[in-house]
Chains A and B, each alone.
Chain A
Amino acid sequence: MARKSNGGIGRRRMLKGAAGIAGAAIGSGAVTGFPVIWAQNNKNIVLRQCGTGVSAINEIAEKCKADLGITLQMTALDSDAVVQRVVTQPNSFDIGDIEYWMIKKVFGANTLQAMDVKKIKLFDKIVPIFTTGKLKADSVIAQGTAPSTVSFVEGAGSTKFAKGQTQWFTIVPTIYNADTLGIRPDLVGRKIDSWKDILDPKFKGKTSILNIPSIGIMDAAMICEAAGIVKYGDKGNMTKAEIDKTIDFLIKTKKDGQFRAFWKTFDESVNLMTSGEVVIQSMWSPAVSAVRGKGVPCVYQPLKEGYRAWGGGLALAKHLKGAQLDAAYDYINWYLSGWVGAFLNRQGYYSAVLETAKANMSADEWGFWMEGKPAQGDIKNPQGQIVEKAGAVRDGGSFYDRMGAVACWNAVMDEDRYMVQKWNQFIAA
């Protein structure tokens, strides 16, 4: 699940991220003349952040050094390694950049400390998906590990998740998005509007799903449910019988030759799509941009059953205290203050506090990325490359259209071990 922000650059950036200090040092020298709003009493503070590749962004470390004086050392790991690091080596990091589905696994190990919402200045502005669970007053909370269900614990040292809001926040959301199927509009030759369209015999040998069990099973469940093969109580927490039915159906589909391949890494998904090996497949948002960046048409197709959503955030290590803990809160407050939010939104992700991000984006950028409006001018990614030409409209539309149509969140199931065994059976079949 190491989502890379965008193709080659993402990987290079991750390598650079490993040399975080060096990059941050350069950044602090190069960037001058910014409005000083942040107290610069964090000069000697080093925060070690470990997390998935998606948010180990070197520009953020550089800007953090420039604005706050805090040296951020980022380590990018795959999601399984993050879980392991947080649980087994609690002193090897200060900030855990974890995903919501992991919280269930890691918080119980008591290596993280819940944070005091009173110290988070913009807490009230955080998108309500992460606090009340309801994007709008009438929203229904989606299946899976919905962030609001693991966002709060009962007390300062508690590891027990609270039903409603409390003063103690498990992680501060940073990046999240709604995933769906990517298609080649020039090659599918029909309207795609449901997850079950991936099963169309017309696309035999031209489809793919991802081979990362914890996410792949969700995409599979969306497909099975749309096709009426299985009716789930909760896709995010299947029973053994539901897992059996889902995997059996996948095996049958595989034997019928419906799938061309299964991908595991970002670049594989890009190559499958670009080369025309597949015309419809599970995809991540930056991968769609990467395919388009090569001049190949690709659409991140909204589907009537809704999206599979994921999200991550920052957690504080248990051992943080004193000046380091204060610095960590400074870092979190800075993260929500707008610059990072705008950076993330420009990558096609969503940020936790919308108002501040908006203030850091042009009206055209905001309209394109967040409101589903046609771009007035060229839309650039954070590195300044043009990703969309004037007139383009974001697939799926506005923030509320996309995040409001989440059917399921990435999750860890009670029957996790069984699911993984069955998944291996599917791959070996």
Chain B
Amino acid sequence: MNRVKSWVTYLQVAPLALVFLLFLIVPIATIVVVSFFDYNTTQIIPAFLLQNYEELLLSPVTWRTYQQTIQFALITWALTLLIGFTVAYFVAFHVRSPTMQTVLFLLCTIPFWTSNVIRMISWIPFLGRHGLANTTLMNLGLIKEPLEFLLYSDFSVVLAYVHLYTLFMVVPIFNSMMRIDRSLLEAARDAGATGWQTLLNVILPLCKPGIAIGSIFVVTIVMGDFVTVRMMSGGLSASVGLMMANAMSLLQYPAAAANAVILLLLVLFIVAAMMRLVDIRKEL
């Protein structure tokens, strides 16, 4: 009886296991294998070389690029967290009627009905030298010369990231906040806590799973991004993803694969660290 039962269990998990095997394990294993291959200008040569990793890890360019990417991820994370938390807090606690909450929440998602590439590119005419922002500021007499840093700079890259990915913070944090038992807030107030104390000691800890999930989204997306960096920095800044895209366009697949493995390890490490801080499964 028991043996039949376990057999049924295996059968039940088989489809998902198969999907994971085919679309997750096999591709990643391929990347790992290819990362040890040799290559020349036109072909990939099966081999077992550490050269790709050596060239990657011993190059100061790699370290600078990783540093830059992590910096983008950190700044974006901090800003999206701040904005995302504030927006979620407003919708969850300040707006009283559930209908209004739903309406406002949907309002947040409206920009996401368009492609994120379009949303990103629309910043370019806005921020440009003769763009809306500069023209307005100059007409108001606030500045005399156009502000050059607005476009094709780290500023514009971070701006685009924050614009694109804040919703990924808002949604899980909002979700966590809606699950908080309102009587806890009343209890805090009855016990004499100020608004700030309630926020810091009651709401924030209870939102940790939402914050963790949002952070995982934002950090992993930014770490792997290459389009936003290239478009918004006008090619002046680099990111790890861009490095890989460059290598691939020159048929240097093994070099790109080695970089992908390193990036994967780094991102897994970051996610693991977050999971240690917040046990998402327990609190979901």
* Cα(A372)–Cα(B182), bound, Å: 80
The answer to the question of B1 belonging to the interface, with a C-beta cut-off of 8 Å to chain A, is no
* Chain A residues near B130 (CB-CB < 8 A): 275-276
B53 to chain A minimum Cβ distance, whole angstroms, is 15
Binary interface encoding of chain B residues 36-66 relative to chain A, with 1 for a CB under 8 A from any of its CBs, else 0: 0000011100000000000100010100110
Report how many residues on chain B are interfacial, defined by Cβ distance under 8 Å: 31
B42 adjacent to A262 (CB under 8 Å): no
* Chain A residues near B2 (CB-CB < 8 A): none
* Cα(A275)–Cα(B124), bound, Å: 10
* Cα(A213)–Cα(B249), bound, Å: 10
B61 adjacent to A105 (CB under 8 Å): no
Report how many residues on chain A are interfacial, defined by Cβ distance under 8 Å: 35
A105 adjacent to B151 (CB under 8 Å): no
Q: Please tell me which stretch of B161-169, B189-197, B232-240 contacts chain A, meaning at least 4 of its Cβ atoms lie within 8 angstroms of it.
A: B232-240
* Chain A residues near B129 (CB-CB < 8 A): 275-277
A277 adjacent to B42 (CB under 8 Å): no
* Chain B residues near A425 (CB-CB < 8 A): 59, 61
A262 adjacent to B61 (CB under 8 Å): no
A260 adjacent to B152 (CB under 8 Å): yes
In the complex, which residue of chain B has the Cβ closest to the Cβ of A423? B246
A1 to chain B minimum Cβ distance, whole angstroms, is 10
Q: Which of B236, B242, B243 contacts A254 (CB 8 A)?
A: B236
* Chain A residues near B224 (CB-CB < 8 A): none
Interface residues of B in 161-179 (CB under 8 A from A): none
A105 adjacent to B128 (CB under 8 Å): no
Looking at B131, B151, B236, B251, the one whose CB has the most chain A CB atoms below 10 A away is: B236
A428 adjacent to B65 (CB under 8 Å): yes
Q: Which of A78, A87, A424 contacts B42 (CB 8 A)?
A: A87
A87 adjacent to B152 (CB under 8 Å): no
The answer to the question of A50 belonging to the interface, with a C-beta cut-off of 8 Å to chain B, is no
* Cα(A271)–Cα(B131), bound, Å: 12
* Chain A residues near B55 (CB-CB < 8 A): 421
The answer to the question of B250 belonging to the interface, with a C-beta cut-off of 8 Å to chain A, is yes
B41 adjacent to A428 (CB under 8 Å): no
If A88-B43, A261-B152, A276-B130 touch, whether A83 touches B243 (CB-CB below 8 Å) is no
B235 adjacent to A211 (CB under 8 Å): yes
Which B positions have Cβ atoms within 8 angstroms of A? 41-43, 55, 59, 61, 64-65, 68, 124-125, 128-131, 148, 151-152, 230, 233-236, 238, 242-243, 246, 249-252
Known: A83-B251, A428-B64, A428-B65. 6 other contacts (CB 8 A): A80-B250, A83-B42, A261-B234, A262-B234, A424-B61, A424-B243
Which A positions have Cβ atoms within 8 angstroms of B? 78, 80, 83-84, 87-88, 105-106, 109, 205, 208, 211, 213, 254, 259-264, 271-272, 275-277, 412, 416-417, 420-421, 424-425, 427-429
List, sorted by A's number, 20 A–B pairs whose CB atoms are closer than 8 Å.
A80-B249, A83-B42, A84-B42, A105-B41, A105-B42, A211-B235, A213-B250, A254-B236, A261-B236, A264-B235, A271-B124, A275-B125, A277-B129, A277-B151, A416-B41, A420-B252, A424-B243, A424-B246, A425-B59, A428-B65
